[in-house]
Every structure is written in structure tokens, then in C-alpha cells.
Amino acid sequence: MKYEYCKTDFIYETSRSDSSVQSGSVFDSTLQNTWKAALERGVFRYVLNIQHSKILEGKFSFVAQLNTDRALKRRAPEEITSLTQPFDHDRFNFTKIDETEILFELRRKCDTTTNRHCVIINESPLEFGHCLLLPSRLNCLPQIATQHSLQLAIEVMLLSSNPAFRLGFNSLCGYASVNHLHYHGYYLNYSMLLERISVQHLSGPCFILVNYPAKGFVFQLPSDKRPETLARDVFKLTNFLVCNNVAHNIYITRGTHFSSSHTNSKICNTIRVYVWARKSSSEAAYWSLTEEQVVEMLSDVCEGTFGQVTDSVKELFED
């Protein structure tokens, strides 16, 4: 199955008030229907069963979920030793998946290249609709975000009208478990603070997230609303991090424009892209988890690295 799109399909504004997790655009319907069909065919390692969810008490409204099947039944992560570890054809990669795991191929109508982008199931799902976006799957690219793949991910976000849809990327040494270029997509039907939190300008198009335990960098869809402009800016940072051997995570979500004074607005009128420079982190048991523990873990993971690279990132965008 192929899903073709062009820029006239992009949705630049949506509202949280008139959506549920299983609703949205033609893209959302395509993703959700193919994902549920795969679930019914028994393609996944387990039927998604989130035993418990809770919002941790406190000002950050962290969401915690208990999904023991993910821990017990997922494929063993690949051993990662370097941020720039080469692609290894002999290890597991996404050219070795069964065809039943492919939900659909994704293609821009104006794209004359032979790139074959795929959306496949995540066979060990964390949330409803949990899938993997595989840019140029057959090109066997390592898990390093390219400018082209970032643009594709931003375009996918613009194809969805459901503000519950999110995309994420983990670098090698930053929780990536397969060294083959991929982004995670899923629906999380909670209003997240990161959709509306205030940020501070650093330089150029780059802002910083400081009133949050995980300090990081953030970009938004520019005034020209061109995904390629946003992708170029984000790639400038992630490429700097790769060149300096700094692990990182990327989070892409709908949200309010940085200049909005209505921090509680349900209108999502931009795409926010967060980039966290990070180190390895520890974990805590679900039932005893508190906001204080999450704050401590996030601060430990990000604060030191953030401080080490901020001045260099500021200079990066000053021209």
C-alpha cells in the first residue's frame, strides 16, 4: 500500500478540544486503520496492554505508564558502542523485517527519486499507533538524523491533524536500540507541558528550554511554514552534536507558537522540535515513581551536557 501526499495536504493548525486519540486526517485514518489491522493479524509481539497510567503530581504533569510486556517481550537491543557506529548488514536491521510488518510506503507526489520511505509497526508497542518511520529504508543508513529525514518527519507531523500524534528520535548511545535510521511515531492522548511551555531565545532560530528539568534546545515552524527550513535549522544542531560525539534525543510535537501569550491555549498553531543533548540515564520502579524522581533523572541526564554545549550552539546560530 502506498500513501502519496503533497504540500497542499499539510495542516498547519489544529485544536486539542475537538479531537480524540482515534480521529484526524486522511493520514491519521490510514495509519490507525493499517495499525489496527496488523494488530488483528497478530503481527505484534504482544497485544498492547497498558496496565496503568497516571499523571504524576506536581507542576510538570509528567505522564507515567506501566507496560510490562514491553520490558519482557521486546527484541533485545543492539549493542551500541559509538555515536557514529557504521551500519552492519549482518545484525538485525529493517531490511530483514517481514512484509506483514509494513503498514504502507510513504511518497511525496513531486519526488522523482527512487527513495522508498516506509511506515512499519513497532512490534513492541508503547502506545496506540506506535509505528516506525523509516526514511529511505533500503539505503541502509545508520541511526544518524539527516536533514532529509528530519524534513520527512516534520512533513509527516503536518499530515496528521491529531495533536496526540508525536514523533521521536533517539541517537546511538541515546537509547536507540537498532542502528538503522528510524523515527518513532505514536499517539499519546495527554496534554503535554512541552506543547506550550515558555522558552528563551538563544540565537537565530534556536531557543532554549530552561524552566524544565531536562534543559534543551527547541525550534518551531518558521514564518514561511516551510518544513525544509525547520529541518535545516534542526540538522545544523544535530550534526554539530554528532560531530562532537554528543548523544541526543529529538521530540516533535504540535504546540503553541513561542510568542503566544496564551500558555493554556488548546489551539496548536506550530510544530515544536525539541533537541536534548544527553548522557546515559537510570530508571525507577513504576509504582514508586514521583515527580521528584523524574526531575532528578532528567536533570542528571541533560543538565551537565546542556551546559557544556550551549555557548557553542549559540555561536552556531549567530551568523
The model's pLDDT over 192-239, given as tens digits with 9 standing for 90+, comes to: 899 999 999 999 999 999 899 899 999 999 988 999 999 999 999 999
The secondary structure of residue 11, as a DSSP letter, is -
CA–CA distance from 205 to each of 10, 243, 298 (Å)? Answer: 22, 20, 25
Q: What cell numbers appear for 281 in the block?
A: 540515564
In DSSP terms, 276 is beta-bridged to 249
- Per-residue pLDDT, 283: 46
For residue 292, the Cα-to-chain-centroid distance in whole angstroms is: 24
- Per-residue pLDDT, 15: 86
Task: Indicate the Cα dihedral angle 152, 154, 159, 162, nearest 10°.
Answer: 140
Q: Are 234 and 219 in contact (CB under 8 A)?
A: yes
User: Annotated active-site positions, please?
Assistant: 182
- CA-CA distance, 295 to 309, in Å (whole number)? 21
The model's pLDDT over 75-109, given as tens digits with 9 standing for 90+, comes to: 666 777 789 999 999 999 999 999 999 999 999 98
Q: Total structural domains in the chain?
A: 1
Q: Are 176 and 80 in contact (CB under 8 A)?
A: yes
The residue ranges of the chain whose pLDDT is under 70 are 18-20, 46-54, 62, 65-77, 261-264, 280-289
CATH number at residue 259: 3.30.428.70
Q: Are 252 and 157 in contact (CB under 8 A)?
A: yes
Q: What cell numbers appear for 147 in the block?
A: 536533514
- CA-CA distance, 315 to 202, in Å (whole number)? 9
Beta strands at 63-66 and 14-15: parallel, antiparallel or unpaired: unpaired
Domain with 258, as residue range(s), is 2-316
